[in-house]
Amino acid sequence: MAEISDIEKYVIEKVKEKRVAAKISQAALAQLLDVSEGFIGNIENPNYRDKYNIRHLNELAKIFKCSPREFLPERAF
């Protein structure tokens, strides 16, 4: 199993929470982000090291109509 940092886990979980709340499938989110269908699944699967980058977070903020800050913790880990 690949290791992923606590901050990466936090960001992934926050994005997933927004995705699920908005009733957007992994495939639909991938299309909106212009990434492969498997990319979102790989990110949300702890067995993979795939993660969002800053550009992704900016695009996700546009999709979810929020600030990119909403994907980050208040304090450093």
Has residue 1 got a pLDDT over 80? no
Q: Which domain holds residue 18?
A: 6-68
Residue 24: strand, helix, or coil:
coil
Tell me if 7 sits within 8 A of 41, measured CB to CB. no
Q: Which residue blocks in 1-77 are alpha helix, DSSP H?
A: 6-21, 26-33, 37-44, 54-64
How many structural domains comprise the chain? 1
Task: Tally Cβ neighbours within 10 Å of residue 40.
Answer: 26
Residue 1 falls within a domain, yes or no?
no
**pTM score of the predicted model:** 0.92
Distance CA 67, CA 29 (A): 17
Residue 15, domain CATH: 1.10.260.40
Reported as a single tens digit per residue, the pLDDT across 17-63 is 999 999 999 999 999 999 998 999 999 998 899 999 999 999 999 99
